[in-house]
Chains A and B, each alone.
Chain A
């Protein structure tokens, strides 16, 4: 029995196994947003629906759900009806869609076909998406009435997931 080999070997095995076991159950796709608990980055963008400019700061006082999406994003098609239905049911919550890397006529066609219940803003140069650190679409930020980001969700939302995250903004 070669003790040196055994001891070094066992140490290496223990280290590897510990690290891998600890890693189980983590979702590597998920990135904690450094913005959670921080004031939401301000933006003032032109609405595709009405042409007026909407300033995030003017919405202070009620919870805001900011949903980043695009017409070229297939999961966004899936998510859209959920958002519209919830926006209709929750008049005290301000829903906002922010579209980037897209064109106005495509967005209008999308909304005409699939309905709309809240302002959709065009982030023409993608600056707002960058400020929020959007990693892909759809991605949704939940902002409380004080203007602080309380939660971030990656991927298409279901009604349960939406309400679960919204609860954090209502607290």
Chain B
């Protein structure tokens, strides 16, 4: 019964989204206000059906209705309620339904926010979103249908993927990632609308930018959560392995970040419209490529869903939207005429161009490294993998260059810059850069790349802070009192600008923390017999013994260690080795002792009787990464809060001023 109702809802959503897309495109072509009204109704109806279908699935999961195939696959009466609820996205079919659910909410929300605005573009945007909705409904109705019936219904199911039950982060990471991935559909629709209309007006930049920034925030957080999860759970002592699926989440993030920057130049100078639109399209296309990577079973990764039949379907969709984007771009890019031009290379806008260049190089580097094994296999029939050394060698210089721009770009004024202005803007931050360099050196940093990162990082932090509080300082200079100046200059009028620099501050910390944690880490592999101790990186580690624990979904061996410093006990750490029923290799869960400056990380390599092979890692600053990425997300959210009223102030072009909102 539940299964039948679910199938009915999905079929209805196929019908509604397809019809809605046709109506919306027709309304756009005829510029019909009545048609727009109807396409809005279809957008709401699609969202309603998706929400309802997801509700039906959750109901089936919670009531353990094993006559629904998905519930029979992932449900179990033995697991806690929260596991049952999140098992919606623990397996392929459910995760696609969850995708549809988020897509529905995004479409309905954006349609509603813009219900009375941008009438010129909205029908085309709604048409594009509903076309994507039609594809995902089709996927749910056919190749990945979670609502198939099982007859007779089993009495019990196996429960969801054990890794999902391993860590709290696993509950937050997938939804965040989907909010980021699925959200990219919205700017894609807006970009397609601008191309179909053949123009991109100044007023349309606001929804375009906001619709890109929101999924960007989610994606930023999701990537960090994924790294954190790997660090806390997988036990190899790192947070990023250049795994194809990690790369898949990074690729759209890179192009979206580039687009957020080029959109600023577009807004200020009226140039780079076609380019920004291309980057937005690429961001969406890369999310679909990423979905293909996870769901097709083509790439080897910890994230891979089991071999599934939806790979070809997603690939066909990817091909169609790639062609749609390329043809549309070729047809209309010339009509998104450039109104202005860039006058000087050494200026804020010049730096934006270089920034975009580096982001694109970064994207290509990662993309090539990710698909290269497939290329080799397709052409030569040989198996190979591209590993860390390639990515590190390629990405470190590009990343360092981006950090350099993060400092120099915002320091330079817009427009033509005189030599004197340039030096006055660029020289003072060098002092902070030098201080950061000296502090690092004093702490023992000797790696050249890390020292350069500290120099550029200190420089960029100086510039970021100076720019962040510039509006406030200008107000205070004018004689305003502190509190009103703070609220008005930073949070009311200059919120976008302020948020942008908060993101920059977070990014600088991330750069420095990655460089320091990866080059300053020290590690030791030791074998300890029960009762034996070893001293490493300021702590004494004593092996107390092991304990076996059997849980329904796994068997664990827990090793207990006493950690002491100068003879004083600090804590007890319990790394464990888990063997899951469904996996060929055991998975260790490390134990991490975090302090502000560093993490002390214990991971079991093997246990034989009374002996334990232990990996001890001392990693400075690693915890800063998580915090700094959260700061980036917070900055993005600050910039997103819509301005209650827009005030335009005419200001001289070359000086950085209060109204210089232009950092996304």
* Contacts from A to B (Cβ < 8 Å): 1-3, 5-6, 9-10, 12-13, 16-24, 26-29, 31-32, 72-75, 101-103, 136-138, 154-155
Which one of B21-29, B217-225, B291-299 contacts A?
A: B291-299
Contact across chains for A22 and B374 when beta carbons are under 8 A apart: yes
CB distance B312 to A74 under 8 Å? no
Per-position contact with A for B356-400: 1 when CB-CB < 8 Å, else 0?
000000000000000100110110000100000000000000000
Q: Is B583 an interface residue, CB under 8 A from the partner? A: yes
Interchain CB contact under 8 A, A24 and B311: yes
A-B CB proximity, top 10 nearest: A9-B326, A28-B300, A22-B378, A6-B330, A136-B584, A23-B298, A23-B374, A5-B330, A13-B322, A136-B585
Judge whether A2 and B584 touch: CB under 8 Å.
no
Task: From the candidates B326, B327, B586, name the one contacting A72 in the complex (CB within 8 A).
Answer: B586
Interface string of B545-579 (1 = CB under 8 A from A): 00000000001000000000000000000000101
CA distance A29 to B476 in the complex (A): 63
Which B residues touch A136, using CB under 8 A? 584-585
Query: Contacts A2-B333, A75-B583, A154-B584 given; 16 further ones with Cβ under 8 A?
Result: A9-B329, A16-B289, A16-B322, A16-B371, A19-B375, A20-B298, A20-B315, A20-B318, A23-B296, A24-B296, A28-B301, A74-B579, A74-B580, A75-B584, A136-B584, A136-B585
Closest Cβ of chain A to B184, distance in Å, is 17
Residues on the A chain within 8 Å of B327, using CB? 6, 9
Task: Check: B597 CB closer than 8 A to any chain A CB.
Answer: no
Instruction: Give the docked Cα–Cα distance between A24 and B304 (Å).
Output: 14
* The residue from B297, B323, B580 contacting A28, defined by CB atoms under 8 A apart: B297
A74 touches B582 (CB 8 A): yes
Kindly state the separation between the CA atoms of A32 and B330 in the bound complex, as whole angstroms: 43
B383 touches which of A32, A101, A138 (Cβ 8 Å) = A32
Say whether B609 faces chain A, with CB atoms less than 8 Å apart: yes
**If the complex has contacts A16-B322, A20-B292, A23-B298, are A28 and B304 also in contact, measured as CB distance less than 8 A?**
yes
The answer for the CA separation of A73 and B285 in the assembled complex, in Å, is 40
The answer to whether A137 and B584 have CB atoms under 8 Å apart is yes
Q: Tell whether A13 pairs with B331 under 8 Å between CB atoms, given A18-B378, A28-B304, A101-B606.
A: no
Flag whether B345 is at the interface (Cβ < 8 A). no
The interface of chain B, by Cβ under 8 A from chain A, is 289, 292, 296-301, 304, 307, 311-312, 315, 318-319, 322-323, 325-327, 329-331, 333-334, 371, 374-375, 377-378, 383, 555, 577, 579-586, 606, 608-609
**CB <8 Å contact, B584 and A1:** no
CB <8 Å contact, B383 and A31: yes
Number of A-B contacts (CB under 8 A): 101
Chain A residues in 8 Å Cβ range of B300:
28-29
Specify which of A2, A12, A101, A154 is in contact with B330 (CB 8 Å cutoff). Answer: A2
Please report the C-alpha to C-alpha distance between residue A136 and residue B580 in the assembled complex, in whole angstroms: 13
CA distance A3 to B581 in the complex (A): 56
* Beta-carbon contact of B326 and A101 below 8 Å: no
A101 CA / B605 CA spacing, docked (Å): 10
Query: Is the pair A13, B581 in contact by a Cβ cutoff of 8 Å?
Result: no
| Shortest beta-carbon distance from A17 to chain B in Å | 5
B198 to chain A, nearest CB (A): 12
Complex: A34 Cα to B111 Cα, angstroms: 57
Interfacial chain B residues near A29, Cβ < 8 Å: 300
Given A6-B327, A13-B326, A24-B298, A19 contacting B378 (CB threshold 8 A): yes
Q: Which residue of A lies closest to B325 (CB)?
A: A9
Contact of B319 among A2, A5, A13 (CB under 8 A): A13
CB distance from B382 to the nearest CB of A (A): 9
Known: A1-B330, A27-B297. A20 touches B374 (CB 8 A): yes
* Cα separation A3 to B327 with both chains bound (whole Å): 10
Name the A residues within 8 Å of B301 (CB-CB): 28
Nearest Cβ in chain B — how far from A4, in angstroms? 8
A28 to B627, CA, bound (A): 35
CB-CB under 8 A for A5 and B333, given A18-B378, A23-B377, A24-B296? yes
Contact partner of B609 (CB less than 8 A), chosen from A1, A32, A75, A103, is A103
> Is the beta-carbon distance between A103 and B374 smaller than 8 angstroms?
no
Given A6-B326, A74-B580, check contact A17 B319 (CB 8 Å): yes
Chain B residues with CB below 8 A from A74, complex form: 555, 579-583
Q: Nearest Cβ distance between residue A142 and chain B, in whole angstroms?
A: 19
Q: Are B315 and A17 in contact (CB under 8 A)?
A: yes
Report yes or no: B608 in contact with A101, Cβ–Cβ below 8 A: yes
Q: Is the CB of A28 within 8 A of B378?
A: no
Chain B residues with Cβ below 8 Å from A2 are 329-331, 333-334
30 contacts between A and B (CB under 8 A): A1-B330, A2-B330, A2-B333, A3-B330, A5-B329, A6-B330, A9-B327, A9-B329, A9-B330, A13-B326, A16-B289, A16-B371, A17-B322, A19-B378, A21-B315, A22-B378, A23-B374, A24-B315, A26-B377, A27-B297, A28-B299, A28-B300, A29-B300, A32-B383, A72-B577, A74-B555, A74-B582, A75-B583, A136-B585, A138-B584
